[in-house]
Structure 1
Amino acid sequence: MSASDGWFIAVAGYAILLAWPLSTVILVWFAVRYGGTHRAKVVNKALASGGGKPGYFWIIVPALNEEAVVANTVKAALGLRGPGGTLTRVLVVDDGSDDRTPEVLAAIDHDRLHVMRRELPHARQGKGEALNAAYRYIAHRSEQEGIPANRVVLGIIDGDGQGSDNILVEVGRLMGDTKVGAVQVQVRIRNRNKLLGAVQDLEFGAIVDACQNMRDALNTVGLGGNGQFSRLSTLISLGTAPWSNCLVEDMELGLRMHLQGVSIRYTSRASVTQQAVVDIKRLTRQRTRWAQGNLQCARYLGSLFASGNIARTSLVEILHYLVSPWINAIVAVLLSLSGTVGAIGLMIGHPLPILPTWWALGASVGIWAAVTTFPGLVWVLVHRAKRADESMSRMLLAALAYPAFLLLGLTATYRALGRQLSGKQAWAKTERLVEEPLALQTA
């Protein structure tokens, strides 16, 4: 390798490495500039007319062995109020639970609570199938009651989720635009008193929030598994099974909506909270499932590019969203290999042109450490400015732990690739933590 080749590789490597903090700065701009509901003036005019504002809300709670948390989730959902004081109905899909979930639900006496018990062999076919069963029930009931499908909204709140008091009002406001078929609200972490919880809240409350704000501006908002709200009419247009058995059925549903030209909005003015996974092994398993689902959704890339319903800039952003985790994984391996080979070359007396001395190797490691630490520190400032509901000391600690959190994500990415190639699809359920019980609102 010539010296010029070495310098070219070095410049290219540093350019790739520095692209991360640069992209962080761009996302921070969206986090500060946009509040999650400012796509364009034409949208705001449509919202003002309120022609599509829904009048009926159903909260679907998919439950499989959720005895530790489902009571609080249901009680919180029953207390939600929509526009004009609209009350919400809650449908819990007990997907074949074999713990005390049925007993916990039976103990909640409320006329707006509906429980659908699914038994084997139909139960435990994936979260998507449970949601489809709930959707068909609500569609049939709405038809019987003579309620127009475009006025009915289905919200998904996971077994450990709790929506903010204004969540239905905000969703209803955004759906005042008749073109809006779905809304995703911000996700926050409740148990952020633990380090892993604080890191995950930094991720959801600042980083994912900024990404969704950018996607909202580009009309490429993605749906999440928790806190997604869809018009019944939009789901009906997707057939009898809008959700699939993809490991990230929420992401796939969002992609299918984009293919049909459905507008999806994001708001950080309302939120749903959930529990963090505070065990390293279980967290890795969760992120592996997400990464494998991301791989499964890559099959939509061809259809997205062939579709005439999506702008070119939006397609680029969706492509980045689906592919960037794998690019990051490859870059991480290349950087690690270059550092390892450089160290070996110095030890045997044949240094690489790009790392001719131990000082150069040390400087490269220092730059790598600074680049990987910088984004977390910046996101702490964003989190503090926008949320201001957590101590600076705890969030700074979360920022310092963030590079290790990313390393865990890279490990999950490679595990996901291995599982996908080997055809493994089965997953163990994420365990919940017991919380203090909430009071049931009877109104």
Structure 2
Amino acid sequence: MIALQVVSHVVISASMVYFLLLMGAGLIQLRRSRTGLGVQGDATYGSADSAEHADLTVYFLVPCLNEEAVIGPTVTGLTRLAGTTTLVIDDGSDDATGRCAEEAGGDRVRVLRRDLPEARRGKGEALNAGIAWVRRHVTERGLDPAQVVVCVMDADGRLSDRALDHVLPLFEEDRVGGVQLQVRIRNRNTFLTRFQDYQFWGLAAVTQFGRQATGTVSLGGNGQFTRLSALDDAGERPWSASLTEDLDLAITLALQGWDLQTTPHASVDQQAVETLPLLLKQRTRWYQGHMMAIKRVPDIWGAGGLSNAKALELTSYCLVPWVLDLPWSILFHYCLILLALNWDQIAVVAAGDGGAWILVAAVFYLFAFAPALAAGWIYYRRDRRFALVKSLLLGNSFVVMNYVSFICAWRALVRILRGETSWEKTARVQEDKPTPDGHAAAARVT
């Protein structure tokens, strides 16, 4: 019993310290860049061009499998960007994905068709086929790989207007190998989809800003910019077969000495999954890939050129599912049981004074919900169009929605123990035409 209490205190303390360090570092980085939390709170997506940057050449890679519902607007938005090349990798689709991409992009889009049995072996394999095409194209054009930037976009992804004007200048620093954009959810019209936006826009984005200090911003699968010479350092096939090939690539690039950065002035929007079963399936895959990243920890500490700060940050991130999420899924309920067993003692203390109940309740609430309240306030500051009260309530719901994380973490562990590595792509929904603010209403699941 005493041992469990000690472990509970350690996990709670570690979680609080990790949360405060990352969020605090993010706020500090924003202040240093003289930028507020509300930047891009009203950004529009896919409706405006960017200036052409003569010193850098941009290639967009869009891996696709049965994406006819969403690929058209994505290709239209990318091909309007001056001086860029868009490659759609049709990974064995049996719908009209390739045709829709060609119709949307005309002569400014290229479609690389992959057929079975080579196709449908995961996103990493599709991207490796795409980067091989890019390398041939770069060689034919006589371009310097150090001056070529490759951006991975999901089939439903749309860059914020003038995003390249904020991203490409970051590559003027020679050691910057990658830039990951923050993610916005556009179909945030239900509690479930709004909560996903809260996670991406209110939590993940700010912590990513904090990771700029160590140059270890985690790469994602959408809005992922990487220097071609950095990908060359990662090998002939930069993307692994990991279920989170983006995280694996981020670790590989860090081990090669590259800095990974982000910017608060550009973002990418995408669809959220709209049902709980689909969310559980998606997050289980993410958890499994994240948990398997623990295999890279020996590489991190064995890398001679990696600073202690970078090694510690990368290691901490790799350990989160094992050290925080899985233990907390048990200890959380243990703490609830302790609270119930000691309720009589709490009631005696509270009964001693008429106002003690209020004090006890307030202390308990602030202790249990302080991170949720802070996150809710940050989400409100990130987008003032969503009311403060609603944002705080959304933050409070994080305590309940933790069960999604608990379930997915344990499902991922079972899959790891069984040796299961298969995955299903995220389902998309057909959308109406974009509205003036750059959003679109979801119409049907595909």
Bin of the TM-score, shorter chain as denominator length:
0.7 to 0.9
The correspondence for 1:17, drawn from 12, 18, 24, is 12
Task: Please give the alpha-carbon distance, in whole angstroms, between the structure 2 residues aligned to 1:186 and 1:227.
Answer: 8
Map of 1:351 onto structure 2: none
Q: Are residues 1:244 and 2:245 paired? A: no
Kept after mapping to 2: 8 A contact 1:36/1:213: no
Q: Are residues 1:59 and 2:54 paired? A: no
The correspondence for 1:373, drawn from 366, 369, 375, is 369
Matches within 5 A, 1:44-443: 54-80=55-81, 86-328=82-324, 329-337=326-334, 339-340=336-337, 357=345, 359=347, 370-437=366-433
In the TM superposition, residue 388 of structure 1 has moved relative to its aligned partner by: 2.8
Question: What stretches of structure 2 of length at least 5 have no aligned partner?
Answer: 35-52, 351-356, 436-446
Q: 1:395 to 1:434 in 2, by over 3 A?
A: farther
Map of 2:43 onto structure 1: none
Deviates more, 1:58-67 or 1:360-369: 360-369
Deviates more, 1:163-172 or 1:26-35: 26-35
The correspondence for 1:35, drawn from 30, 54, 68, is 30
Task: Please give the alpha-carbon distance, in whole angstroms, between the structure 2 residues aligned to 1:19 and 1:359.
Answer: 30
Task: Please give the alpha-carbon distance, in whole angstroms, between the structure 2 residues aligned to 1:356 and 1:32.
Answer: 42
Q: 1:285 to 1:210 in 2, by over 3 A?
A: same
Q: For each residue in 1:113-140, what CA deviation from the matched residue of structure 2 results, as whole angstroms up to 9, or x when unmatched?
A: 1111111011101000100111000100
In the TM superposition, residue 265 of structure 1 has moved relative to its aligned partner by: 1.1
2:22 maps to amino acid: L
Q: 1:79 to 1:13 in 2, by over 3 A?
A: same
Q: For each residue in 1:291-316, what CA deviation from the matched residue of structure 2 results, as whole angstroms up to 9, or x when unmatched?
A: 10012211110011011221112222
Kept after mapping to 2: 8 A contact 1:75/1:438: no
1:35 maps to amino acid: L
Deviates more, 1:20-29 or 1:124-133: 20-29
Task: Please give the alpha-carbon distance, in whole angstroms, between the structure 1 residues aligned to 2:199 and 2:432.
Answer: 25
Q: The residue matched to 1:223 in structure 2 has which SS?
A: coil
Task: Please give the alpha-carbon distance, in whole angstroms, between the structure 2 residues aligned to 1:320 and 1:124.
Answer: 32
Kept after mapping to 2: 8 A contact 1:54/1:172: no
Q: 1:322 to 1:70 in 2, by over 3 A?
A: same
Q: 1:367 to 1:104 in 2, by over 3 A?
A: farther
Q: The residue matched to 2:181 in structure 1 has which SS?
A: strand
1:332 maps to amino acid: S
Map of 1:45 onto structure 2: none
Q: 1:65 to 1:36 in 2, by over 3 A?
A: farther
Task: Please give the alpha-carbon distance, in whole angstroms, between the structure 2 residues aligned to 1:121 and 1:186.
Answer: 35
Q: The residue matched to 1:240 in structure 2 has which SS?
A: coil
Kept after mapping to 2: 8 A contact 1:55/1:152: yes
Task: Please give the alpha-carbon distance, in whole angstroms, between the structure 2 residues aligned to 1:438 and 1:374.
Answer: 38
Map of 2:47 onto structure 1: none
1:306 maps to amino acid: G
Q: The residue matched to 1:382 in structure 2 has which SS?
A: helix
2:328 maps to amino acid: V
In the TM superposition, residue 34 of structure 1 has moved relative to its aligned partner by: 1.5
Q: The residue matched to 1:308 in structure 2 has which SS?
A: coil
Task: Please give the alpha-carbon distance, in whole angstroms, between the structure 1 residues aligned to 2:398 and 2:164.
Answer: 33
2:315 maps to amino acid: L
Q: For each residue in 1:194-233, what CA deviation from the matched residue of structure 2 results, as whole angstroms up to 9, or x when unmatched?
A: 1112211111112111221221102222111111111111
Map of 2:354 onto structure 1: none
In the TM superposition, residue 269 of structure 1 has moved relative to its aligned partner by: 1.3
Kept after mapping to 2: 8 A contact 1:53/1:173: no
Task: Please give the alpha-carbon distance, in whole angstroms, between the structure 2 residues aligned to 1:138 and 1:109.
Answer: 18
In the TM superposition, residue 79 of structure 1 has moved relative to its aligned partner by: 2.5
Task: Please give the alpha-carbon distance, in whole angstroms, between the structure 2 residues aligned to 1:361 and 1:248.
Answer: 50
Kept after mapping to 1: 8 A contact 2:291/2:322: no
Map of 2:41 onto structure 1: none
Map of 1:83 onto structure 2: none
Q: 1:268 to 1:149 in 2, by over 3 A?
A: same
Task: Please give the alpha-carbon distance, in whole angstroms, between the structure 2 residues aligned to 1:123 and 1:9.
Answer: 49
2:216 maps to amino acid: T
Question: What stretches of structure 1 of length at least 5 have no aligned partner?
Answer: 40-51, 81-85, 347-353
Q: The residue matched to 1:35 in structure 2 has which SS?
A: helix
In the TM superposition, residue 288 of structure 1 has moved relative to its aligned partner by: 0.7
Q: 1:416 to 1:360 in 2, by over 3 A?
A: farther
Identity score, percent: 33
2:78 maps to amino acid: A
Kept after mapping to 2: 8 A contact 1:62/1:94: yes
2:88 maps to amino acid: V
Kept after mapping to 2: 8 A contact 1:188/1:204: yes
Kept after mapping to 1: 8 A contact 2:291/2:321: no
Q: 1:222 to 1:101 in 2, by over 3 A?
A: same
Using structure 1 for the length normalisation, give the TM-score.
0.84
